[in-house]
Structure 1
Amino acid sequence: MLRSLRDVPRTVWLLAAGGFFNMVVAFTFVYFFVYLTDERGLSVAQAGVISGMGGAGMVAGNFTGGWFGDRYGHRRILLIGSLISGAGVLALPVLPLALLYVVPTLSQYAGGCVRAANGALVAVTVPEGGRRQAFAVTRFAANAGFTVGPPLGALIIAHASYGLLFVVDGLGTLAFAAYAWRVLPAHGAVRAARTAEPGPGVFAALRQRPTVLVLLGAILVTDLVYRQQYSTLPVDLARHGLDTGVYGWLLAINGGVILLLELPATLALRGRAPLRIVGAGLLLVGAGYAALVIGTSVATAVAMMLLLTAGEVLYKTPATAYVADHAPAHAQGRFQSLYSGVSVSGVVLSAPLGGALYSVAPGLLWPLCAALAGAAGCAVLVAGRSAPEQGPGGPPARSLRPVRPRGARPVRFSP
């Protein structure tokens, strides 16, 4: 396990360190809705529209950031996106009402571009066969940062003000931009990706890789289901007499298990066929919601969260690496953008769709969630069985264990 981590290039560790810091200070979005209704005195409907527009901007940024990166360089997009995002957050406390409908959307769009660029930087830095552990390292750092961030934000609000919260977040994001500018020179893997031989357009490339298309569709469906834990789940818990304390503990279980198990599980399973792991993970997500079909209680809610978290541990990192491994060099950023976009689509779609169904047929939501995730998992397993595991346009791989060509070194950036 330690040897596998030593094989992760220095650039990935630098990105992971920056990502940890960035997630520690990225607590504004957690309290943004409450800030709008509490501090700014907006109605719930107004706050919902502003927050929804911001979420749509974030998803759009994930879908398009890699396209810009392939054209202008992923490092450049990461830097520009961080600068715009940080400046937008810094300005929030002094914005008039009209600009609250504009600036947060632009800021979150820029943040989505940063996420896509970060994934593309990992993909172009690490050779095929070693990307699973690299993505696992960056996900571990981001999850660890997010574990620290929201409680820290709550302390700032309690002992200071919302204004200071935005100042810390904005300045922290700008500091991340400065850090990235310092440690990620515009040479090496990023330049190599930009000067790669041109090839077919991204949609033509996708048609040549049907398993990637199946995977993207499965992740899209599963994310709509997965994110019900942040919208309809707390409503259903309250309806069955379980207070917010129970919900808080469920989220703590989710975060704790991911931090403890995701990195070791990724390293232990790195030699296994990725689509089998992803398919099993999606089936576990479906099994989690199936536990609630029995009835909503503390026991079934804990079982649901454990199964859901186990599924997340299995599917998220291998799915990201699979898309990167099957992307043509000239479109690595665009492939990462497609994956990033579908993997956060539930931010915008899950609450309105799940809420609408729950309001008219609450007993149907959990069975449907279980069925959708289960179908997505089966589709990925069938796709993996019907096509050999291979790189983009290459022959079937004889070994799925990370390999390094003789005499080659991992791409590294120097300050």
Structure 2
Amino acid sequence: MRGLRAVPRTVWLLAAGQFFNMVVAFTFVYFFVYLTHGRGLSVAQAGLISGIGGVGMVAGNFTGGWFGDKFGHRRVLLIGSLVGGVGVLTLPVLPLALLYVVPPLSQYAGGCVRAANGALVAVTVPEGGRRQAFAVMRFAGNAGFTVGPPLGALLIAHVSYTWLFVVDGLGTLVFAAYAWRVLPAHGAVAAGRAESAAPGPGVFAELRRRPTVLVLLAAILVTDLVYRQQYATLPVDLDRHGLDTGVYGWLLAINGGVILLLELPAALALRGRAPLRIIGAGLVLVGAGYAVLAVGTGLGTAVAMMLLLTLGEILYKTPATAYVADQAPAHVQGRFQSLYSGVSVSGVVLSAPLGGALYTVAPGLLWPVCAVLAGAAGCVVLAAGRGRGGSRSGGVAAGSPDPETGSLVRRTSG
């Protein structure tokens, strides 16, 4: 894949760390089960603690870029990893009262790390190569997450929950040490920080100048509420229609497998295409997936839904991240990335209560509503891509060297 040669060494090093970090980041997968089985808490208590943690994670995504623009994204990544690692290590010995404090703090730190990762890629890679770079990062994260949860299950089954937290916490601290060692304190990352420190209009003033970014953020916010129903109400609906947990597990395996197979090739194949059209098409596919479920929940429709949802995810997630980075002025790059990171995980907090409430009142309405919301969000982004604001491609910048040939090329229209 020739396009991958243009991805800077720093991004490859960061992706390697991302892979390792996701392999050991299995605590949150089993945290609810640990609280109910390992600690003997009620479902209500465990739900409250987990919910507060989710709020902390989303808040970290929204604010990590603000800290990075002021203090440096590398520094935020290092401090966030240290705080998160120590917090996870302490979980087995925390008294009940501190379970309401330390896990949310750890997840807040993890959210800051996620925002810092995005900002580091954005300031390291020039416009024209960011789609490939973000695709590499997502591939590494997804590959790590494919390996991690089964390893966590083995630790629980053959050792104990305590070792689950020890391995996760120590692994996060090892990642912090690795990042400190391999990420440059000078060069591209430092240059990005220097540009961030330059005076300029505030983030909201810059957003008002870029209405397509606001449109995209709103569309991603809506779509994430819909997208994450696969982790909230989907397993409930499958069970209601006689499809057991094993079927749900295979559906998630389809999602992960297709992403690992197709996301990098898709990013490379489409890197010169107008981003808002790709993103809009991806959001429409997410809506189409839930529209299939609206016909009826069965094994065939569930598989079709997951395939459409996964193809939509492949089309919209990486180009959307790169588009926001390409649109961001240097002095607010971290804040733009933080806004995108925050809205792209907002469903972690909102999808379950909103989807669950609708499913409780009118089960037959949930999937049609999801289909309409995601489809409408996609159509809005497609319409924005036909206007002037969608002309920045996120692929190859005007007047910049082509990442493969080194020649100057024209920017593709939006």
Which residue does 2:193 correspond to in 1?
194
Name 2:383's counterpart in structure 1.
382
Question: Are the structure 2 counterparts of residues 403 and 63 from structure 1 closer, same or farther at C-alpha, using a change threshold of 3 Å?
Answer: farther
Query: CA offset at residue 386 of structure 1?
Result: 1.2
User: For residues 348 and 401 of structure 2, what CA distance do their matches in structure 1 show?
Assistant: 33
The aligned residue for residue 249 of structure 1 is 250
Note the alpha carbon deviations across 1:85-123, whole angstroms, 9 max, x for none: 000000000000000000000000000000000000000
The equivalent residue for 1:412 is none
Residue 411 of structure 2 aligns with which residue?
none
The CA deviation at 1:188 is: 1.6
1:75 partner letter: R
- Rounded to whole Å, the distance in 2 between the matches of 1:398 and 1:273 is 17
State the 1:75 CA deviation. Answer: 0.2
Structure 1 segments (4+ residues) deviating >2 Å:
388-392, 396-407
Per-residue CA shift, 1:201-224, capped at 9, x if unaligned?
Answer: 000000000000000000000000
Q: What residue identity is the alignment partner of 2:14?
A: L
Distance 1:82 1:254 in 2: 28
Q: Take 2:385 and 2:18, find their aligned partners in 1: how far apart are those partners? A: 32
1:377-399, Cα deviation, whole Å (9 max, x unpaired): 0000000101254459xxx9489
Q: What is the SS of the residue equivalent to 1:128?
A: coil
| Paired residue type of 2:382 | L
In structure 2, the partner of 1:225 is: 226
Aligned residues: 403
Provide the residue aligned with 2:151 in structure 1. 152
Quick check: 1:271–1:400 contact (8 Å CA) kept in 2? no
Following the alignment from structure 1 to structure 2, what is the Cα–Cα distance between the partners of residues 254 and 382?
A: 28
Separation of aligned partners in 2, 1:332 and 1:201: 11
Per the alignment, residue 46 of structure 2 pairs with 47
Structure 2 unaligned regions, length at least 5: 409-414
Q: Is the Cα contact below 8 Å between 1:271 and 1:401 reproduced in 2?
A: no
Number of the residue aligned with 2:318: 317
* Residue pairs, 1:2-401, within 5 angstroms: 2-196=1-195, 197-391=198-392, 397=398
> What's the secondary structure of 2:268's corresponding residue?
helix
| Amino acid across the alignment from 1:232 | T
Deviation at 1:189, TM superposition (A): 2.1
**Aligned AA (1:40):** R
Cα pair 1:58 1:108 within 8 Å, conserved: yes
Report deviation, 1:63: 0.2
Kindly indicate whether the alpha-carbon contact (under 8 Å) linking 2:54 and 2:104 is maintained by their aligned counterparts in 1.
yes
> In structure 1, how many angstroms separate the alpha carbons of the residues matched to 2:404 and 2:350?
39
Aligned residues: CA RMSD:
1.6
Q: Is the 8 A contact 2:210 2:389 kept in 1?
A: no
Q: What is the CA–CA distance in structure 2 between the aligned matches of 1:399 and 1:222, rounded to whole Å?
A: 33
Matches of 1:340 and 1:198, distance apart in 2: 24
Q: Check whether the contact 1:27–1:150 (CA below 8 A) recurs between aligned residues.
A: yes
The Cα shift of 1:187 comes to: 1.3
Post-superposition offset of 1:185: 2.9
- Classify 1:283/1:399 alpha carbon distance in 2 versus 1 (closer, same or farther; 3 Å): farther
Q: 1:391 to 1:328 in 2, by over 3 A?
A: farther
Helix, strand or coil: the match of 2:242? coil
Report the residue type matching 2:40 in the other structure.
G
Cα distance between partner residues in 1 of 2:205 and 2:152: 45
Q: TM-score, normalised by structure 1?
A: 0.95
Q: Give a deviation string over 1:352-380, Cα, whole Å, max 9, x none.
A: 00000000000000000000000000000
Cα gap change, 1:373 to 1:403, in 2 (>3 Å): same
Relative to 1, partners in 2 of residues 1:400 and 1:372: Cα closer, same or farther, differing over 3 Å? farther
**Alpha-carbon spacing, 1:9–1:398, altered in 2? closer, same or farther (3 Å):** closer
Q: Is the 8 A contact 2:211 2:389 kept in 1?
A: no
Match of 1:413 in 2: none
